[in-house]
Each structure stands twice: as C-alpha cells, then as structure tokens.
Structure 1
Amino acid sequence: MSTSQAWTNWAGNQRVEGIEVLTPRTTAEIAPFLASCAAAGRRVRPIGSGHSFTAIGRPDDVQLRLDRLDRVLHADAGTGLVTVEAGIRLGALNRALDALGLAMTNLGDIDAQSISGAISTGTHGTGARFGGIATQVRALELALPDGTTLTCSPSENPDVYAAARVGLGALGVITTVTLQTEPAFGIRAREAGGALDEVLDRFDDDVAGTDHVEFYWFPHTRKVLTKHNTRVPLDDLEPLSRRRAWWDDDFLSNTVFGGVVGAGRRVPALVRPLARVSASALGDREFSDRSHRVFTSPRRVRFEEMEYAVPREHGLDVLRELVGAVERSRWRIAVPVEVRVAAADDIAVSTAEGRDSLYVAVHTAVGSPDREAYFATLEAIAGDVGGRPHWGKLHGLGAADLRERYPRFGELLALRDRLDPQRVLGNDHLAHVLGA
C-alpha cells in the first residue's frame, strides 16, 4: 500500500514531508517494487523504527517501511538458528525467543529498534568477549534494485555477507535475518554509584572479570553509575519487585530524569546543580532476571547522541580528555556519558572491525545550544586515535575521512557499485558518508 506522508525519527531531529510511503505485507513484494523504482529513476530508503539520530534512514523520495514484516519464520531449538522477518522489533524478538527457550547472546540497552536497522547501523551492547548484534547473524536475504533476491551467508555469497551485516541499507533491502541464538539464560546485575577516578583505575580488571560491564559518568560531577552483569543459569533468579522496577527504571530513569532535562532546557543555570541530583538519584541494587530484561531498559526521554568506537587500549585516555574538556568548558550537559566495550569482529565496516573497542557515547537534550561544540570535542579527541563513529549516531565525517578509519571501506563501496549501481537505495546522507 502506497500513500503520501510525513516522517520523523525517534529523536525528532530528522523530519521530511510529502514522501511516498510503501508498507509491504510480505517480503515477496519488496524486490519487484525496487525494480519498478529503478525503472522510474526513483530513490528508496528502507526504515525500521527510525531510532537512528543521523539521516541514514531519511528518504528524499520513497520510504519503505518494514513494520509489518515482524514474524518469526523458523526456529530450531537444537541449533539455536532462528530466522525472522527484517522489521521485527528487538523487544518482540526477545519475547518470542524467550517463549522458545532461547535468547540473544548480547543486546544493547534499548529494544525499540528493528533487527534490520540494528544490525545495519552496528548496534552493540557491552562485554569484552562479545561482539555487536551483527556478529550474531548467520545469514540474511537481500532484495536488490534489479528485482532479484540474494541469500548471503559464510557459504553463499560470502563477500556480500562480510559487508551486508553492517551495510547501512546501501546494498539491498534486508528482508529476512537468520540469527545464532543460545539457550535462555539469566543475568545477575550489580549496579552501584562510584567515584570516577576509582572506577577508571579498576576498569580493566572489572571488564576482565565480569561478562558485561558499563558505566555512566555524570558531567559536572566526579560521580558514575556502574553496571556489572554476570551470566547465570535460569534457576533461582531473584528479579526486582514490580514496584522497585517501576520506581528505578520508569519513574526515576524516565519521569524524574525527564523533568531534570526539561528544567535544564528551560533554565540552563539549573543544569549543573541538577547534575549532582541526577548522579545521586539511583541507589545501589543487585538482582537477577532473564537476560533480555536486564540488558534493556525503557527510554522515553528524547535526546541526541554521538558515539565513537576507539581502540580499547586508548579508550580510557579518550574519556579522561573528554572529562577535562567538560570541566574547562562553560557547557551545561544534562545527560550522562556512557562507556562500553566490545570484542573485535570481521565485518567490513563494523566499528569494531579488526580491533577490540571501547565506546564513548555523549548525549544532549534535543536542541541543546552546547551540542555542536561538545560533540565536536569528542570527535576531535576520538579522531586522534582513529575513532570510528556509530553509523546511526551523529557525527561530522565524510567518505574521505571514513575511508582512512576503515581498512576495508572499499569492500562496501565495490559491492554497492555492483548491487546498486543506480543508487536506487541512496540518499544525501549516504552520498556524504560513502561518496556520490
């Protein structure tokens, strides 16, 4: 079904009106539709949940919404291989897997994205032994602008598989994804406040001794919130009570925090004193629950974000430089800085391709006057050590810069020339980051 509509992304910083929108009901509709657009000289951008902050999903002509392609097509509990349609949201996927006694190996902290959008932009969680979500992909099917479909796996079109797992939606439209899952497991979570310097001093030991470690630094303070998640069997889990979970993860993390951010937007002078309140609001807690319930949390406060992956060995120095820059500045930053790690992988333009990585993510309230200078500062610091920007988060790099950061950047470009020579799947953002 095709209609003329407007579109905005989750953060509200990408908007467009008067586009043609197609929402297919089956995967079989996509390839013929792309061929018709190619014949008419039109451009198409696929979109999942619109959770990217960049214009990577912004259409300038036709938008292909994958919302209705949300089914689990096949699941093998013996091998753990599960095939799903590309538009299924991670939250729905997690629930479906849980009902099958299965789970994703690792997840990020938000489950609103579609599976195709999450892998195409390089979404990741944390853990020194674990890669991003795309490393859990074992096969995918692409609908191509010539009207054909292509199955990609390590044994079938392996060159496309090597790049299309984080393919930016530039090679074809992902219609189905086959994931390697594992038997459902639990996570024992330990969350606590701490002093920044102490957390940095023990960070490498914590990462080596715990499955999944991350922390949040509160700008204008020397306080952090640490999260240590350890994988455990499902026996004898001790989840939070409904009241405590609502209080911590909904009321404090969303309602109260949203009020803090809103107050800081209206009265900027309040940001720094309120930062101290935010840093102290969440108390220490320890609990255990099914993995996806611990990995992910609701996020209803809108923000804008930049995230850079830097070589693990330089990561804490990058953060220390950022802390110093914030302390010397007159900025008013209301949203914490998130620090995570991931294992090296072999995906052509993954942010962790070929190197263990540490991720530094900075956030501001939507429309913050300090965003440009703050984000540019992280970009410069990370750039000094070859930092790579998350494909779905704000950055200022173009194709020439990115080619230097990714040794295998040319693989993606060559495949794009082969699979979409007319740039049917292009937009202005892709022309900027991949070249015209």
Structure 2
Amino acid sequence: MAGWSNWSGSVIAAPREIARPREAGELAALVAQAAKVRVVGAGHSFMPLCETSDLLLNLADYEGAITLAPDRRTAWAPAGWSLRKLTAALWDEGLSLVNQGDINPQSLAGAMATGTHGTGAELGSLSTQARGFRLMTAAGEIVECGPDLHPELYQAQRLSLGLLGVAVEIRVEVVPAYHLEERVERRPLAEVAERLDELAAATRHMEFFVFPYSDEVIFKTLHPIEADNPGRPPKEIGEADEAIFKLACDLSAALPVLTPSLQRLLMRLAGKPSRRIGPAHVIFPSERNIRFEEMEYELPRAAGLPTLRAAIDHIRKRRLPITFPFEFRLAAGDDIWMSPFNAGPGASISFHQYARMPWRPAFAEMEAVLRDGAGRPHWAKRHTLTPADVHRLYPRAGDFLAVRQTWDPAGKFANAHLTELFGL
C-alpha cells in the first residue's frame, strides 16, 4: 500500500493503489476494478474527502487540452489540471477565469467540487463558472452533462464532493484576459468595519486579514487595470517576510503566552503600503509555505462582521494562542444545490492555526461561534456537520442524494467520511 497525506499533514491514508491514468481506457479499467474510488488533486482539503483504503486517482497526467468555444466565452479544460496550469494556458489564448482564490495548486475539478472561492462582492465561487462536465461514471462510461443535457446530473455535479463520478473535462466560463492592480495596506479594524460596504463597492475584489490580538488589519484590494499602466512587477512574498512570520509561529508554539505580543509586533513590522500590477492569474494567487489547519464558514452578508467581532472577542477572552490571522472575504450568492452561498450574498470567515500547534479544541470553540452567525462551512475545511445538519442547512440535499443514487447506486465514489456526513 502507498501512503498519502493531505497538504497540512492532518489526513493520512494508505490506499491500496495510487494511480495516474493517462487516457479514458486506462481510467475506465481502474474504476471498474475498484470497489471504492476517490480522486485527489493538490491535497488542500482539510477534511478527509480524499481518504480511501482502495483506489486513489490523480488526473494531473490525464490526456487533454483546452478547447475553446467559437464565441470564446467557454472552454473545455482537463479537470485534473491545476488552476496554475489552466490559467497560464488560458492566458496564452488571451483569456482568464472570471475569478480565482488566493492559491492555485488545486485541481480544477477539486476546486469546483468543494465550492472553493475567491473574493468579490458580486462574484461567485469557482463552481458558478462551470457550464458543463464530462464524467467517468461508476459504470466506466463517459457521460456529458450541462444545463440542457442530463440537467439534474449537471446541477448536482456543480458542487458534488466527488460523489457522482470522476470529472475528466469541465466546460468553464472564460473572459478576455485582464491585468490586476493589487494594493495592500494597514488600516484600523474599526474603520474597515464602519466603511465595509463602501470599500467593497469601490473595487472588484476586497479582503482583509486580522490577527486576533491586533486592532489593525492588512487590507487588500484587486482591481482590473490597463496592461500598460506602470507599477511594480509581480513578485511573491519575500522570503524574509515569511521567515519572520514562521519565527513568530514557532515562538508561539514554544511559548503560547507570547502570542498577543508577537501579533502586535508583526503588525508594526508590516511596512509601507505596497502596489503591484500583473496578469490576473499571476496576481490572484499567493504562496502558502507555512503549514496550517483551517476552518472556514460562509455567513449571510449582514452577519459577517458581527460574527468576526464575536470570534475575536472569544479568542481574547479565552486567551487562545491562535497564531494566524482571520481572513475575511465577500462572495455573491448562487443557486447551486450544495453551495454554502445558495442562501444569498455571503461573507466568508477563515480561521487558521499553525500546523505544529494543537488545533482541535480551539476549532471546536470557534465553530460554535461561527454557527451562531448562521454560518455554513466550506466543505473542504474543518467542520463537524451531521446528516441532520446537512438536511437542515441545504433544502436541496434530498435532490442531490437522489441524483447520486441514480448515477452511483453502489456508492463506489463515497468514502467513510462522506458516508457518515450524508447518512448514506
């Protein structure tokens, strides 16, 4: 058996086989011979979505290329490609994705299957950009679905958690290539909270990061800009900056009582406002080299800031040694059956802990606070939903499970976690 672990190291599995099929016949044979099948991309899920003791598939080497529609508004793309590879290939064709998150190693299929999103008050998750799918079903056949072709399968597959089959190609919405200007600066948390609607309306993308023991935020905006506008060339976060933050994390792990002072020091060292300009697919993502564990809840827009305040107050009152900042983003609502944003416009709160420090007790406390804000968790990040919670929070869960039963009646694509989560 080959060993596998997710990016943070918190999910460990020993699959019977880890396979990287290159073409449809090879994939069909692998699926047919396995009792259980899961698919993995970059392993950025913190929940055991990819865990299996049987067959674990990676489609990074699967044959395929981008095929553009005549109107250049959509493109069929290999589902196993990373977002990094996909967006670079689209750029070569003069195209971009509508929106991205702040990392790009994930596979296109994995990002869509879990409802991964970026930021932007009027922009939906990556799942909202899907216009069609080609799936390898449990029967070993390729089935295409879209709004007018197997529409029920398409609706369920838009955010499927990998329960319906192996996505081999995805038809994704694209737009003409664009450049982004990134601006990063410190601002008082009180000011950002008071002016949130104004700040969100002023730019296409807005987010901020706030350490639990600081009253300032790292405020970041992204906005489309003409390519010939002067600005600093794109560059990743400096090694020195990352080393300083890792040192602070290591000191907090050794002496948790230092955490509040270290966070205030980090904000004083945050430096002057910065600005850079570059291709959208270069500016959107950031490197994430310091390992962490993550929980993220999507809340009704109006509940976002009050819930963030409650979370910060809880950490300060309990003096919890939380080393990473909260990340606060906005996203548009959607109509996807199993999307955390299908109840309307949302605010996203991401809660992290350094991977070398205990995280389970703090996550249990924080989840209670985030649930009080009527939040629903990101499917790939730490949560403790039960089947009763799923059906209470998602009125179309029954429809989703009916589609799953039709296309995978034996549960080939369900693992132990998903079986428990949905009460299969």
TM-score range, shorter chain: over 0.9
- Is 2:27 the counterpart of 1:30? yes
Partner SS state of residue 400, structure 1: helix
Partner of 1:104: 97
1:6 aligns with 2:3: yes
Q: Superposition pairs for residues 156-305 of structure 1, below 5 Å? A: 156-240=149-233, 245-246=235-236, 249-283=237-271, 284-305=273-294
Shift of 1:30: 2.3
CA contact (8 A) 1:80 1:102 kept: no
After superposition, the C-alpha distances for 1:333-359 in whole angstroms (9 at most, x for unaligned) are 110100001101111101111311100
- Out of 327, 332, 353, which is 1:338 matched to? 327
Q: Say whether 1:73 aligns with 2:61.
A: no
What's the CA shift for 1:422? 0.8
Partner of 2:16, secondary structure, is: strand
Distance, in Å, in 2 between the alignment partners of 1:373 and 1:406 is: 27
Alignment of 1:123-162 (within 5 A): 123-162=116-155
Q: Could you tell me how far apart the structure 2 residues matched to 1:88 and 1:102 are?
A: 16
Q: Which runs of 5+ in 1 are unaligned?
A: none
Q: Which residue of structure 2 lines up, in the alignment, with residue 63 of structure 1?
A: 56
Is the Cα–Cα contact under 8 Å of residues 311 and 370 in structure 2 kept in the other structure?
no
Asked if the contact 1:67–1:87 (Cα under 8 Å) also holds between the matched residues in 2, the reply is yes
In the alignment, the residues of structure 2 paired with residue 330 and residue 282 of structure 1 have an alpha-carbon distance, to the nearest angstrom, of 23
Determine the structure 2 residue equivalent to 1:398: 386
Instruction: Tell me how far apart the structure 2 counterparts of residues 240 and 279 of structure 1 sit (CA, whole Å).
Output: 24
Residue 148 of structure 2 aligns to a residue whose secondary structure is coil
Cα distance, 1:230–1:220 mapped onto 2, change above 3 Å: same
Task: Work out whether residues 70 and 87 of structure 1, in 8 Å CA contact, stay in contact via their aligned partners in 2.
Answer: no
Residue 206 (structure 1) shift:
0.8
Structure 2 counterpart SS, 1:263: helix
CA distance in 1, matches of 2:415, 2:172: 29
Cα gap change, 1:73/1:289 in structure 2, threshold over 3 Å: closer, same or farther? closer
- Report the secondary structure of 1:97's partner residue: helix
Q: Which amino acid aligns with 1:175?
A: V
Unaligned runs of 5+ in 2: none
Q: Letter of the 1:36 partner, please give it.
A: Q
Q: 1:19 to 1:282 in 2, by over 3 A?
A: farther
Check conservation: 1:250, 1:298, Cα contact below 8 A.
Answer: no
Q: 1:20 aligned to 2:17?
A: yes
Over the matched positions of the two proteins, sequence identity in percent amounts to: 34
Verify: 1:349 aligned to 2:338, yes or no: yes
Equivalents in 2 of 1:209, 1:144: separation in Å? 45
Once the two structures are TM-superposed, the CA of residue 252 in structure 1 deviates from its matched residue by 4.4
Distance in 2 between residues matched to 1:346 and 1:237, nearest whole Å: 40
Q: 1:144 to 1:332 in 2, by over 3 A?
A: same
Tell me the distance in 2 between the aligned counterparts of 1:31 and 1:70.
Answer: 14
User: After alignment, is 222-231 or 11-20 more displaced?
Assistant: 11-20
> 1:22·1:64 contact (CA, 8 Å) conserved in 2?
yes
TM-superposed CA distance for 1:119, in Å, is: 0.5
Q: CA deviation at 1:35?
A: 2.5
Aligned partners of 1:385 and 1:220: how far apart in 2? 21
Q: Which one of the candidate residues 391, 416, 432 is aligned to 2:420? A: 432
Deviates more, 1:301-310 or 1:191-200: 191-200
> C-alpha offsets along residues 245-277 of structure 1, whole Å, 9 cap, x if unaligned?
35xx13245332222212222332332221112
Q: CA deviation at 1:18?
A: 5.2
After TM superposition, the structure 1 stretch with the greater mean CA deviation from structure 2, 22-31 or 104-113, is 22-31
| Residue of structure 1 in register with 2:312 after alignment | 323
> Would you say the 8 A contact 2:103–2:285 is kept in 1?
yes
Aligned to 2:401: 413
Give how far 1:76 is off: 4.1
Superimposed CA distance per residue, residues 359-387 of structure 1 (whole angstroms, 9 cap, x where no aligned partner): 00000011423x23332233222223431
Q: Which amino acid aligns with 1:250?
A: G
> Match for residue 375 of structure 1?
363
Q: 1:435 to 1:206 in 2, by over 3 A?
A: same
CA distance, structure 2, for counterparts of residue 334 and residue 171 of structure 1: 38
**TM-superposition CA deviations, 1:263-294 (whole Å, max 9, x none):** 22233233222111222333311222211222
Contact 2:304 2:373 in 1 (8 A): no
Would the alpha carbon gap of residues 411 and 250 (structure 1) be closer, same or farther in structure 2, given more than 3 Å must change? farther
**CA-based RMSD:** 1.7
Residues in 2 aligned to 1:152 and 1:214: alpha-carbon distance in whole angstroms: 34
Q: 1:146 to 1:253 in 2, by over 3 A?
A: farther
Partners of 1:22 and 1:407 in 2: CA distance: 36
How far apart, in 1, do the equivalents of 2:33 and 2:360 lie? 40
The runs of 4+ residues in structure 1 deviating greater than 6 Å are none
Alpha-carbon displacement from aligned partner over 1:10-29 (angstroms, at most 9, x marks no partner): 11101122531221011443
- The CA deviation string for residues 84-142 of structure 1, in whole angstroms up to 9 with x for no partner, is 11110111111111111111110000001010111011100000110001111111111
* Number of residue pairs aligned between Structure 1 and Structure 2: 423
